[in-house]
Each structure stands twice: as structure tokens, then as C-alpha cells.
Amino acid sequence: MSYWMQWLTKPIDRRVYLTGNVMVNKYYGSCLCGRVSYEVSGDFDAFYLCHCSRCQKDTGSAHAANLFAKAGRLVWLKGETDVTHYQHPGSLDTKSFCQCCGSALPSFAESINCVVVPAGSLDTPISVTPTAKIFVADCAAWSVDLSNVPSYDALPGQVNQDSK
């Protein structure tokens, strides 16, 4: 069994949330249109950049960037009825998203007993850095080495404006 599967399937101790004086980290996030917002309580155990072909399709990009909280608790603050869930047949691949704007949102993956949070959906800054790149054998050829690609603070040729 791979390290990834061993970590995902190891049992967790949920007693940490039953102690009265333990400070629990809270993170907040939302979708692009603002109809859905959530809170995740607990610590992130891992932060994977997944390059598998399903995550490429799921995100429309080179990889997914997901945080995993095995002892985490997910609470929808608003818009829970706007959250749609998709489970890819015959796999562990699960996706939750806003049915209005399509933004990726957290889900509780029962198969691994874990809250999975798309990093880009967080509004709260995190200090966690990626744990690993996984399924790199499936990496999109165009994204293998981006070190020579120019970087810009805004769209090239446009006046730097705040787009929020």
C-alpha cells in the first residue's frame, strides 16, 4: 500500500475535540459568487498537489491543490443548498462545488474519513506549504518545467487594476 493510501486510511482520534481547553484552528472559505461560505475547524494534516488525470479534468488545470484534515470538522455557514456533490464512479474521486458559479468547495470524503478542502477556496491565509506532488507520472507535459515562463502581477499589456 502506498504512503498516500496508508495515510488516508489510518484511524484518527476524534477525542481532541472533546477537551474543553484545547484551542482549535478555524479556517473560512467561500465560492466565487459568494452564495456559499464555510468553516473548517481543526488542523490540516497534508497538502497535496495532485497531477492525476482526474484532477486535471476536475480543475481544468495542471493539478488540484487540496488540503486534508482527518480530524477536521466542516460547517456550512451559508448556501449549503447551493452545494452539489459529484462522486466519480468506481473511484475515490469526489468533488463538491457551487451549483451557481462552479467553484470547488470542501467535502467530507467518507471513503478516507477526512475533510478535503480545495486550497483556492479558502479566504483565511494558511501557513501550510504543499506536502508533496502526487501522481506526477500523469503530469501534463506543458506544466513539467515552468521556470522560464514570464511572471506578471496582472494581465500583460493591461493597466494594473484591482479586479476584486
Terminal CA-CA length for the chain: 45
Question: What's the CA gap between 69 and 63, in Å, rounded?
Answer: 19
**pLDDT tens, residue by residue, 25-78:** 999 999 999 999 999 999 999 999 999 998 999 889 999 999 999 989 999 999
**pLDDT tens, residue by residue, 65-120:** 999 999 899 999 999 999 999 988 887 778 999 999 999 999 998 878 899 999 99
CB 160 within 8 A of CB 154: yes
Question: What's the CA gap between 91 and 55, in Å, rounded?
Answer: 12
At 77, phi and psi to the nearest 5?
-85, -35
**pLDDT tens, residue by residue, 117-164:** 999 999 999 999 999 999 999 988 888 888 889 998 888 887 555 544
Question: What's the CA gap between 93 and 78, in Å, rounded?
Answer: 25
Q: Which of 47, 65, 91 is CA-nearest to residue 143? A: 65
| pTM for the full predicted model | 0.79
CA distances to 11, 127, 156 from 47, in Å: 18, 11, 31
